[in-house]
A and B are shown apart, each in its own frame.
Chain A
Protein backbone atom coordinates (compact mmCIF):
# COMPACT_ATOMS: atom_id res chain seq x y z
CA UNK A 1 0.00 0.00 0.00
CA UNK A 2 1.30 3.43 -0.95
CA UNK A 3 2.35 5.72 1.85
CA UNK A 4 2.40 9.44 1.63
CA UNK A 5 4.32 11.93 3.79
CA UNK A 6 2.22 14.54 5.58
CA UNK A 7 3.48 17.52 7.56
CA UNK A 8 1.35 19.55 9.91
CA UNK A 9 1.35 21.20 13.35
CA UNK A 10 -0.18 19.32 16.26
CA UNK A 11 -0.78 21.41 19.38
CA UNK A 12 1.94 23.79 18.24
CA UNK A 13 4.61 21.18 17.44
CA UNK A 14 5.67 20.30 13.93
CA UNK A 15 4.89 16.71 12.93
CA UNK A 16 5.79 14.66 9.88
CA UNK A 17 4.35 11.20 9.39
CA UNK A 18 3.67 8.73 6.61
CA UNK A 19 0.00 7.99 6.10
CA UNK A 20 -1.58 5.13 4.22
CA UNK A 21 -4.02 5.60 1.38
CA UNK A 22 -7.45 6.13 2.86
CA UNK A 23 -6.20 6.33 6.44
CA UNK A 24 -8.40 8.55 8.55
CA UNK A 25 -7.09 11.33 10.77
CA UNK A 26 -8.23 9.68 14.01
CA UNK A 27 -6.27 6.54 13.22
CA UNK A 28 -3.22 8.59 12.23
CA UNK A 29 -3.33 10.60 15.47
CA UNK A 30 -3.88 7.60 17.73
CA UNK A 31 -1.77 4.94 16.03
CA UNK A 32 0.72 7.00 14.03
CA UNK A 33 1.47 9.77 16.53
CA UNK A 34 0.30 8.27 19.81
CA UNK A 35 -2.06 11.09 20.78
CA UNK A 36 -4.81 9.06 22.47
CA UNK A 37 -6.96 12.02 23.51
CA UNK A 38 -9.31 11.88 20.50
CA UNK A 39 -11.49 8.81 21.08
CA UNK A 40 -12.90 6.27 18.68
CA UNK A 41 -16.64 6.05 19.33
CA UNK A 42 -18.80 5.12 16.36
CA UNK A 43 -16.37 5.51 13.45
CA UNK A 44 -19.09 7.06 11.30
CA UNK A 45 -19.31 10.65 12.45
CA UNK A 46 -22.39 10.43 14.65
CA UNK A 47 -21.02 10.47 18.22
CA UNK A 48 -18.53 13.36 18.11
CA UNK A 49 -15.95 12.01 20.57
CA UNK A 50 -13.21 12.05 17.88
CA UNK A 51 -13.62 15.81 17.35
CA UNK A 52 -10.38 17.74 16.79
CA UNK A 53 -9.75 21.29 15.63
CA UNK A 54 -8.25 21.87 12.18
CA UNK A 55 -7.25 25.52 11.79
CA UNK A 56 -9.58 26.23 14.71
CA UNK A 57 -12.66 24.56 13.22
CA UNK A 58 -14.12 21.40 14.75
CA UNK A 59 -13.82 18.34 12.54
CA UNK A 60 -14.75 14.69 13.00
CA UNK A 61 -11.35 13.06 12.74
CA UNK A 62 -12.85 9.63 12.00
CA UNK A 63 -14.31 11.02 8.76
CA UNK A 64 -11.32 13.16 7.77
CA UNK A 65 -8.69 11.74 5.43
CA UNK A 66 -5.32 12.02 7.15
CA UNK A 67 -3.56 13.36 4.06
CA UNK A 68 -5.85 16.40 3.93
CA UNK A 69 -4.20 17.97 7.02
CA UNK A 70 -1.00 18.78 5.11
CA UNK A 71 0.18 22.19 6.30
CA UNK A 72 -2.74 22.68 8.72
CA UNK A 73 -2.82 23.50 12.42
CA UNK A 74 -4.36 20.73 14.53
CA UNK A 75 -5.49 20.97 18.13
CA UNK A 76 -6.51 18.03 20.29
CA UNK A 77 -7.42 17.79 23.97
CA UNK A 78 -3.75 17.01 24.66
CA UNK A 79 -2.99 20.60 23.64
CA UNK A 80 -5.47 22.30 25.96
CA UNK A 81 -3.50 22.50 29.19
CA UNK A 82 -0.40 24.65 29.32
CA UNK A 83 2.11 22.83 31.47
CA UNK A 84 0.22 21.76 34.54
CA UNK A 85 -2.21 24.65 34.23
CA UNK A 86 -5.57 23.43 32.96
CA UNK A 87 -7.49 25.22 30.26
CA UNK A 88 -10.49 27.11 31.63
CA UNK A 89 -12.78 24.55 30.00
CA UNK A 90 -10.98 21.63 31.62
CA UNK A 91 -11.11 23.35 35.00
CA UNK A 92 -14.81 24.12 34.59
CA UNK A 93 -15.59 20.52 33.54
CA UNK A 94 -13.78 19.27 36.61
CA UNK A 95 -15.35 21.75 39.02
CA UNK A 96 -18.81 21.20 37.54
CA UNK A 97 -18.74 17.39 37.55
CA UNK A 98 -19.27 17.50 33.77
CA UNK A 99 -17.84 14.02 33.18
CA UNK A 100 -18.92 10.62 34.38
CA UNK A 101 -17.42 7.83 32.30
CA UNK A 102 -15.42 10.48 30.43
CA UNK A 103 -15.58 8.96 26.97
CA UNK A 104 -17.36 11.90 25.34
CA UNK A 105 -15.28 14.48 27.22
CA UNK A 106 -12.47 15.10 24.68
CA UNK A 107 -15.01 15.71 21.91
CA UNK A 108 -17.10 17.96 24.14
CA UNK A 109 -14.00 19.98 25.10
CA UNK A 110 -12.95 20.47 21.49
CA UNK A 111 -16.45 21.43 20.33
CA UNK A 112 -16.62 23.87 23.25
CA UNK A 113 -13.18 25.33 22.55
CA UNK A 114 -14.13 25.99 18.92
CA UNK A 115 -17.24 27.78 20.15
CA UNK A 116 -15.50 29.94 22.76
CA UNK A 117 -12.67 30.83 20.38
CA UNK A 118 -15.11 32.41 17.95
CA UNK A 119 -17.75 33.47 20.48
CA UNK A 120 -16.37 34.15 23.98
CA UNK A 121 -19.80 34.96 25.45
CA UNK A 122 -22.21 32.38 24.06
CA UNK A 123 -25.84 32.07 25.09
CA UNK A 124 -27.09 28.80 26.51
CA UNK A 125 -28.75 28.06 23.17
CA UNK A 126 -25.47 28.65 21.33
CA UNK A 127 -23.72 26.21 23.67
CA UNK A 128 -26.46 23.62 23.06
CA UNK A 129 -26.03 24.02 19.31
CA UNK A 130 -22.23 23.80 19.54
CA UNK A 131 -22.35 20.40 21.29
CA UNK A 132 -25.37 19.03 19.45
CA UNK A 133 -23.10 16.80 17.36
CA UNK A 134 -21.66 15.17 20.46
CA UNK A 135 -23.41 12.33 22.25
CA UNK A 136 -23.13 11.94 26.03
CA UNK A 137 -24.64 8.87 27.65
CA UNK A 138 -24.06 9.65 31.33
CA UNK A 139 -24.41 13.25 32.37
CA UNK A 140 -27.72 14.32 30.86
CA UNK A 141 -25.81 17.23 29.20
CA UNK A 142 -26.86 19.76 31.84
CA UNK A 143 -23.50 19.81 33.71
CA UNK A 144 -21.62 20.02 30.39
CA UNK A 145 -23.66 23.01 29.22
CA UNK A 146 -23.20 24.68 32.60
CA UNK A 147 -19.43 24.02 32.60
CA UNK A 148 -19.01 25.61 29.17
CA UNK A 149 -21.00 28.66 30.30
CA UNK A 150 -18.85 28.84 33.45
CA UNK A 151 -15.64 28.66 31.42
CA UNK A 152 -16.91 31.48 29.21
CA UNK A 153 -17.77 33.53 32.29
CA UNK A 154 -14.28 33.02 33.73
CA UNK A 155 -13.09 34.92 30.67
CA UNK A 156 -9.67 33.35 30.29
CA UNK A 157 -10.72 30.57 27.93
CA UNK A 158 -8.84 32.24 25.11
CA UNK A 159 -5.65 33.01 26.97
CA UNK A 160 -4.08 29.61 26.88
CA UNK A 161 -4.45 26.30 25.12
Chain B
Protein backbone atom coordinates (compact mmCIF):
# COMPACT_ATOMS: atom_id res chain seq x y z
CA UNK B 1 0.00 0.00 0.00
CA UNK B 2 1.21 3.43 -0.84
CA UNK B 3 -0.04 6.99 -0.98
CA UNK B 4 0.58 8.73 -4.29
CA UNK B 5 0.69 12.52 -4.41
CA UNK B 6 -0.68 14.09 -7.57
CA UNK B 7 -1.26 17.61 -8.83
CA UNK B 8 -3.98 18.68 -11.23
CA UNK B 9 -4.62 21.96 -12.98
CA UNK B 10 -7.64 23.46 -14.69
CA UNK B 11 -8.53 26.88 -15.98
CA UNK B 12 -11.87 28.33 -16.89
CA UNK B 13 -13.30 31.00 -19.15
CA UNK B 14 -16.75 31.58 -17.71
CA UNK B 15 -19.63 33.46 -19.37
CA UNK B 16 -21.69 35.69 -17.06
CA UNK B 17 -25.40 35.12 -17.64
CA UNK B 18 -27.01 33.59 -20.67
CA UNK B 19 -29.06 34.73 -23.57
CA UNK B 20 -31.87 32.52 -24.74
CA UNK B 21 -34.32 35.06 -26.08
CA UNK B 22 -32.90 38.04 -24.24
CA UNK B 23 -31.85 38.29 -20.61
CA UNK B 24 -33.54 41.10 -18.60
CA UNK B 25 -33.77 41.99 -14.92
CA UNK B 26 -35.66 44.87 -13.35
CA UNK B 27 -35.34 46.88 -10.16
CA UNK B 28 -37.58 49.47 -8.52
CA UNK B 29 -36.26 51.92 -5.92
CA UNK B 30 -38.24 54.32 -3.78
CA UNK B 31 -37.73 56.26 -0.59
CA UNK B 32 -40.04 56.52 2.35
CA UNK B 33 -40.63 60.00 3.80
CA UNK B 34 -37.91 59.39 6.39
CA UNK B 35 -35.26 59.10 3.69
CA UNK B 36 -34.74 55.33 3.87
CA UNK B 37 -34.68 53.59 0.52
CA UNK B 38 -36.35 50.38 -0.56
CA UNK B 39 -34.99 48.33 -3.47
CA UNK B 40 -37.65 45.95 -4.76
CA UNK B 41 -36.40 42.93 -6.70
CA UNK B 42 -37.70 39.52 -7.70
CA UNK B 43 -34.14 38.26 -7.80
CA UNK B 44 -33.39 35.65 -5.19
CA UNK B 45 -30.64 35.60 -2.61
CA UNK B 46 -29.65 31.93 -2.41
CA UNK B 47 -27.08 32.72 0.22
CA UNK B 48 -24.56 34.00 -2.31
CA UNK B 49 -25.00 37.58 -1.09
CA UNK B 50 -27.35 39.14 -3.66
CA UNK B 51 -29.05 41.26 -1.01
CA UNK B 52 -25.76 42.56 0.38
CA UNK B 53 -24.30 43.39 -3.02
CA UNK B 54 -27.42 45.08 -4.43
CA UNK B 55 -27.70 47.03 -1.17
CA UNK B 56 -24.14 48.28 -1.57
CA UNK B 57 -24.74 49.13 -5.24
CA UNK B 58 -27.94 51.05 -4.43
CA UNK B 59 -26.34 52.97 -1.54
CA UNK B 60 -23.28 53.88 -3.61
CA UNK B 61 -25.41 55.09 -6.52
CA UNK B 62 -27.93 56.98 -4.40
CA UNK B 63 -25.16 58.52 -2.34
CA UNK B 64 -26.66 57.46 0.98
CA UNK B 65 -25.32 55.27 3.82
CA UNK B 66 -25.73 51.54 3.26
CA UNK B 67 -27.75 51.40 6.50
CA UNK B 68 -30.40 53.56 4.82
CA UNK B 69 -31.10 50.96 2.11
CA UNK B 70 -33.34 47.94 2.47
CA UNK B 71 -33.48 45.28 -0.24
CA UNK B 72 -36.69 43.30 -0.60
CA UNK B 73 -36.35 40.20 -2.74
CA UNK B 74 -38.01 37.06 -3.86
CA UNK B 75 -41.71 37.76 -4.16
CA UNK B 76 -42.45 37.55 -7.87
CA UNK B 77 -46.08 38.61 -7.20
CA UNK B 78 -45.04 42.05 -5.97
CA UNK B 79 -41.50 42.61 -7.25
CA UNK B 80 -40.50 43.68 -10.75
CA UNK B 81 -39.54 40.94 -13.20
CA UNK B 82 -36.23 39.09 -13.00
CA UNK B 83 -35.07 36.09 -15.02
CA UNK B 84 -33.67 34.56 -11.84
CA UNK B 85 -30.56 33.74 -9.85
CA UNK B 86 -28.70 31.38 -12.16
CA UNK B 87 -25.89 31.38 -14.72
CA UNK B 88 -23.87 33.65 -12.39
CA UNK B 89 -25.95 36.56 -13.66
CA UNK B 90 -27.15 38.18 -10.43
CA UNK B 91 -24.47 40.76 -9.68
CA UNK B 92 -24.06 41.72 -13.34
CA UNK B 93 -27.67 41.89 -14.56
CA UNK B 94 -29.48 42.89 -11.37
CA UNK B 95 -26.67 45.20 -10.26
CA UNK B 96 -26.96 47.16 -13.51
CA UNK B 97 -30.75 47.39 -13.14
CA UNK B 98 -30.32 48.66 -9.57
CA UNK B 99 -27.89 51.34 -10.76
CA UNK B 100 -30.37 52.60 -13.34
CA UNK B 101 -33.25 52.67 -10.84
CA UNK B 102 -31.12 54.30 -8.15
CA UNK B 103 -29.87 56.99 -10.56
CA UNK B 104 -33.45 57.97 -11.38
CA UNK B 105 -34.43 58.06 -7.69
CA UNK B 106 -31.28 60.05 -6.87
CA UNK B 107 -32.10 62.67 -9.50
CA UNK B 108 -35.56 63.21 -7.95
CA UNK B 109 -34.02 63.40 -4.47
CA UNK B 110 -31.57 66.05 -5.72
CA UNK B 111 -34.37 68.01 -7.42
CA UNK B 112 -36.31 68.00 -4.14
CA UNK B 113 -33.19 69.11 -2.25
CA UNK B 114 -32.52 71.84 -4.82
CA UNK B 115 -36.02 73.22 -4.41
CA UNK B 116 -35.58 73.38 -0.64
CA UNK B 117 -32.13 74.97 -0.86
CA UNK B 118 -33.14 77.23 -3.79
CA UNK B 119 -30.17 76.13 -5.89
CA UNK B 120 -29.62 74.33 -9.19
CA UNK B 121 -29.80 70.51 -8.75
CA UNK B 122 -26.75 70.18 -11.01
CA UNK B 123 -24.69 71.91 -8.30
CA UNK B 124 -25.59 69.37 -5.60
CA UNK B 125 -23.49 66.47 -4.36
CA UNK B 126 -24.05 63.78 -1.74
CA UNK B 127 -21.50 62.92 0.95
CA UNK B 128 -22.59 59.29 1.38
CA UNK B 129 -23.36 59.98 5.05
CA UNK B 130 -26.90 61.22 4.61
CA UNK B 131 -26.23 64.82 3.53
CA UNK B 132 -26.72 66.72 0.30
CA UNK B 133 -24.83 69.95 -0.17
CA UNK B 134 -23.80 72.48 -2.77
CA UNK B 135 -20.52 71.48 -4.38
CA UNK B 136 -17.73 73.50 -2.73
CA UNK B 137 -20.10 74.90 -0.10
CA UNK B 138 -20.72 72.20 2.52
CA UNK B 139 -22.61 74.61 4.76
CA UNK B 140 -25.38 74.95 2.16
CA UNK B 141 -26.73 71.56 3.14
CA UNK B 142 -29.82 69.43 3.68
CA UNK B 143 -30.09 65.84 4.89
CA UNK B 144 -31.36 63.14 2.56
CA UNK B 145 -34.15 62.52 5.08
CA UNK B 146 -35.22 66.18 4.91
CA UNK B 147 -35.10 66.16 1.12
CA UNK B 148 -37.19 62.98 0.89
CA UNK B 149 -39.64 64.32 3.49
CA UNK B 150 -40.02 67.61 1.60
CA UNK B 151 -40.58 65.71 -1.65
CA UNK B 152 -43.37 63.75 -0.01
CA UNK B 153 -45.13 66.36 2.11
CA UNK B 154 -44.40 69.72 0.44
CA UNK B 155 -43.58 69.15 -3.20
CA UNK B 156 -45.73 66.16 -4.10
CA UNK B 157 -42.93 64.15 -5.72
CA UNK B 158 -42.20 60.43 -5.50
CA UNK B 159 -38.50 59.86 -4.87
CA UNK B 160 -38.40 56.74 -6.97
CA UNK B 161 -36.72 55.11 -9.92
CA UNK B 162 -37.16 52.30 -12.41
CA UNK B 163 -34.34 50.19 -13.75
CA UNK B 164 -33.94 47.43 -16.26
CA UNK B 165 -30.86 45.78 -17.66
CA UNK B 166 -31.37 43.77 -20.82
CA UNK B 167 -28.91 41.77 -22.82
CA UNK B 168 -30.96 41.58 -26.03
CA UNK B 169 -31.37 38.40 -28.01
CA UNK B 170 -28.37 37.87 -30.22
CA UNK B 171 -29.42 36.58 -33.64
CA UNK B 172 -27.21 34.04 -35.36
CA UNK B 173 -25.65 35.37 -38.55
CA UNK B 174 -26.90 32.94 -41.25
CA UNK B 175 -23.71 33.38 -43.29
CA UNK B 176 -21.09 32.87 -40.61
CA UNK B 177 -22.98 31.30 -37.69
CA UNK B 178 -21.57 34.07 -35.55
CA UNK B 179 -23.46 35.38 -32.53
CA UNK B 180 -22.78 37.16 -29.24
CA UNK B 181 -24.48 35.08 -26.58
CA UNK B 182 -22.69 36.77 -23.69
CA UNK B 183 -21.08 40.14 -23.13
CA UNK B 184 -18.84 39.41 -20.20
CA UNK B 185 -16.47 36.63 -19.16
CA UNK B 186 -14.79 35.84 -15.87
CA UNK B 187 -11.64 33.70 -15.61
CA UNK B 188 -9.92 31.43 -13.15
CA UNK B 189 -7.14 28.90 -12.74
CA UNK B 190 -6.98 26.30 -10.00
CA UNK B 191 -4.39 23.80 -8.82
CA UNK B 192 -5.32 20.92 -6.55
CA UNK B 193 -3.00 18.47 -4.78
CA UNK B 194 -4.36 15.07 -3.79
CA UNK B 195 -3.12 11.90 -2.15
CA UNK B 196 -4.49 8.71 -3.70
CA UNK B 197 -4.36 5.49 -1.69
CA UNK B 198 -3.65 2.63 -4.11
CA UNK B 199 -5.05 0.05 -1.67
CA UNK B 200 -8.40 1.67 -0.80
CA UNK B 201 -8.78 3.94 -3.84
CA UNK B 202 -9.58 6.85 -1.56
CA UNK B 203 -8.65 10.42 -2.37
CA UNK B 204 -7.49 12.94 0.19
CA UNK B 205 -7.57 16.51 -1.06
CA UNK B 206 -4.45 18.09 0.41
CA UNK B 207 -4.37 21.65 -0.87
CA UNK B 208 -6.09 23.96 -3.31
CA UNK B 209 -4.63 27.11 -4.82
CA UNK B 210 -6.60 29.30 -7.14
CA UNK B 211 -6.67 32.65 -8.88
CA UNK B 212 -9.96 34.26 -9.89
CA UNK B 213 -10.50 37.24 -12.16
CA UNK B 214 -14.00 38.52 -11.39
CA UNK B 215 -14.06 42.09 -12.52
CA UNK B 216 -14.21 44.18 -9.37
CA UNK B 217 -14.85 42.27 -6.13
CA UNK B 218 -17.75 44.41 -4.92
CA UNK B 219 -17.65 42.78 -1.48
CA UNK B 220 -14.24 41.09 -1.13
CA UNK B 221 -15.11 39.05 1.98
CA UNK B 222 -18.31 37.74 0.39
CA UNK B 223 -16.43 36.88 -2.79
CA UNK B 224 -13.75 34.98 -0.92
CA UNK B 225 -16.35 33.12 1.12
CA UNK B 226 -18.31 32.24 -2.02
CA UNK B 227 -15.14 30.91 -3.66
CA UNK B 228 -14.21 28.77 -0.64
CA UNK B 229 -17.72 27.33 -0.38
CA UNK B 230 -17.95 26.83 -4.12
CA UNK B 231 -14.66 24.96 -4.24
CA UNK B 232 -16.06 22.60 -1.61
CA UNK B 233 -19.06 22.01 -3.86
CA UNK B 234 -16.74 21.32 -6.79
CA UNK B 235 -14.74 18.88 -4.68
CA UNK B 236 -17.97 17.23 -3.60
CA UNK B 237 -19.20 16.90 -7.20
CA UNK B 238 -15.83 15.54 -8.26
CA UNK B 239 -15.39 12.77 -5.73
CA UNK B 240 -18.48 12.32 -3.57
CA UNK B 241 -21.91 13.27 -4.87
CA UNK B 242 -24.07 11.27 -7.23
CA UNK B 243 -27.71 10.25 -7.38
CA UNK B 244 -26.97 7.53 -9.95
CA UNK B 245 -23.78 5.69 -9.00
CA UNK B 246 -24.26 2.99 -11.66
CA UNK B 247 -26.22 4.92 -14.28
CA UNK B 248 -28.18 3.81 -16.30
CA UNK B 249 -28.60 1.00 -13.76
CA UNK B 250 -30.66 2.50 -10.90
CA UNK B 251 -29.26 0.38 -8.08
CA UNK B 252 -27.45 1.78 -5.05
CA UNK B 253 -28.88 5.25 -5.58
CA UNK B 254 -28.85 7.27 -2.35
CA UNK B 255 -32.19 8.07 -0.76
CA UNK B 256 -31.18 10.37 2.09
CA UNK B 257 -28.24 12.09 3.80
CA UNK B 258 -27.14 8.78 5.30
CA UNK B 259 -26.31 7.55 1.80
CA UNK B 260 -25.80 10.73 -0.22
CA UNK B 261 -22.13 11.39 0.29
CA UNK B 262 -20.57 14.80 0.75
CA UNK B 263 -17.24 15.84 2.22
CA UNK B 264 -17.60 16.76 5.87
CA UNK B 265 -15.67 19.32 7.89
CA UNK B 266 -12.84 16.80 8.32
CA UNK B 267 -12.39 16.31 4.56
CA UNK B 268 -11.70 19.89 3.56
CA UNK B 269 -8.34 21.19 2.43
CA UNK B 270 -6.63 24.55 2.87
CA UNK B 271 -7.50 26.79 -0.07
CA UNK B 272 -5.46 29.88 -0.93
CA UNK B 273 -7.24 32.26 -3.25
CA UNK B 274 -5.86 35.20 -5.20
CA UNK B 275 -8.52 37.59 -6.46
CA UNK B 276 -7.51 39.63 -9.49
CA UNK B 277 -9.58 42.70 -10.23
CA UNK B 278 -10.07 43.78 -13.83
CA UNK B 279 -13.27 45.82 -13.78
CA UNK B 280 -15.70 44.82 -16.55
CA UNK B 281 -16.72 47.73 -18.80
CA UNK B 282 -20.40 46.72 -18.71
CA UNK B 283 -20.48 45.46 -15.10
CA UNK B 284 -21.96 47.34 -12.13
CA UNK B 285 -18.93 49.21 -10.74
CA UNK B 286 -16.93 46.72 -12.82
CA UNK B 287 -18.31 43.61 -11.13
CA UNK B 288 -18.91 40.30 -12.92
CA UNK B 289 -20.00 37.35 -10.79
CA UNK B 290 -18.33 34.40 -9.04
CA UNK B 291 -21.49 32.25 -9.18
CA UNK B 292 -21.06 28.80 -10.64
CA UNK B 293 -17.45 29.19 -11.70
CA UNK B 294 -16.26 28.81 -8.12
CA UNK B 295 -17.14 25.10 -8.36
CA UNK B 296 -16.39 24.34 -12.01
CA UNK B 297 -12.59 24.20 -12.30
CA UNK B 298 -12.26 21.92 -9.26
CA UNK B 299 -13.75 18.96 -11.14
CA UNK B 300 -11.29 18.74 -14.08
CA UNK B 301 -8.41 19.70 -11.77
CA UNK B 302 -9.19 16.77 -9.46
CA UNK B 303 -9.51 14.33 -12.37
CA UNK B 304 -6.14 15.55 -13.62
CA UNK B 305 -4.64 15.23 -10.14
CA UNK B 306 -5.76 11.60 -9.89
CA UNK B 307 -4.20 10.86 -13.30
CA UNK B 308 -1.03 12.57 -12.19
CA UNK B 309 -0.98 10.54 -8.97
CA UNK B 310 -1.73 7.01 -10.17
CA UNK B 311 -2.12 7.14 -13.96
CA UNK B 312 -5.86 6.41 -13.94
CA UNK B 313 -7.89 8.60 -16.28
CA UNK B 314 -11.41 8.96 -14.85
CA UNK B 315 -13.95 9.93 -17.51
CA UNK B 316 -17.16 9.61 -15.50
CA UNK B 317 -17.85 11.52 -12.29
CA UNK B 318 -17.72 11.11 -9.40
CA UNK B 319 -14.21 9.78 -8.93
CA UNK B 320 -15.11 6.90 -6.63
CA UNK B 321 -12.59 4.60 -4.90
CA UNK B 322 -14.07 1.75 -6.97
CA UNK B 323 -13.25 3.48 -10.26
CA UNK B 324 -9.73 4.26 -9.11
CA UNK B 325 -9.09 0.67 -7.98
CA UNK B 326 -10.51 -0.77 -11.22
CA UNK B 327 -8.30 1.63 -13.17
CA UNK B 328 -5.21 0.69 -11.18
CA UNK B 329 -5.94 -3.00 -11.72
CA UNK B 330 -6.46 -2.50 -15.47
CA UNK B 331 -3.11 -0.69 -15.68
CA UNK B 332 -1.36 -3.45 -13.73
CA UNK B 333 -0.62 -1.17 -10.77
CA UNK B 334 -0.33 2.51 -9.98
CA UNK B 335 1.44 3.96 -13.00
CA UNK B 336 1.83 7.73 -12.63
CA UNK B 337 2.73 9.37 -15.94
CA UNK B 338 6.32 10.43 -16.43
CA UNK B 339 6.81 13.85 -14.88
CA UNK B 340 8.30 16.71 -16.77
CA UNK B 341 10.66 18.79 -14.73
Contacts and interface: CB of A to CB of B under 8 A. Distances in A.
Interface of A: 42, 44, 46-47, 97, 99-102, 127-129, 131-132, 135-145
Contacts of B222: 97
B47 interface: yes
Given A141-B264, A143-B225, A101 B47 contact: yes
Contact of A100 (B226, B264, B266): B226
A101 B221 CA distance: 15
Nearest to B258: A46
Nearest to A108: B265
Contacts of A132: 264-266
A141 B235 CA distance: 13
A99 B265 CA distance: 15
Contacts of A136: 265
Given A47-B257, A101-B46, A140 B262 contact: no
Interface of B: 46-49, 221-222, 224-226, 228-233, 256-258, 262, 264-266, 268, 271
B225 A139 contact: yes
A135 B229 CA distance: 13
B229 A100 contact: yes
Given A42-B256, A100-B47, A141 B225 contact: no
B98 to A, nearest CB: 21
B262 A135 contact: yes
Contacts of B224: 97
A97 B257 contact: no
Contact of B232 (A47, A97, A101, A141): A141
16 contacts: A42-B257, A44-B256, A47-B257, A100-B48, A102-B47, A128-B266, A131-B265, A132-B266, A139-B232, A140-B230, A141-B265, A141-B268, A142-B271, A143-B225, A143-B228, A143-B229
A42 B255 CA distance: 11
B96 to A, nearest CB: 23
B228 A142 contact: yes
A46 B225 contact: no
Contacts of A46: 256-258
B160 to A, nearest CB: 31
Nearest to B266: A128
B43 to A, nearest CB: 15
B265 A145 contact: yes
B304 to A, nearest CB: 21
B217 to A, nearest CB: 13
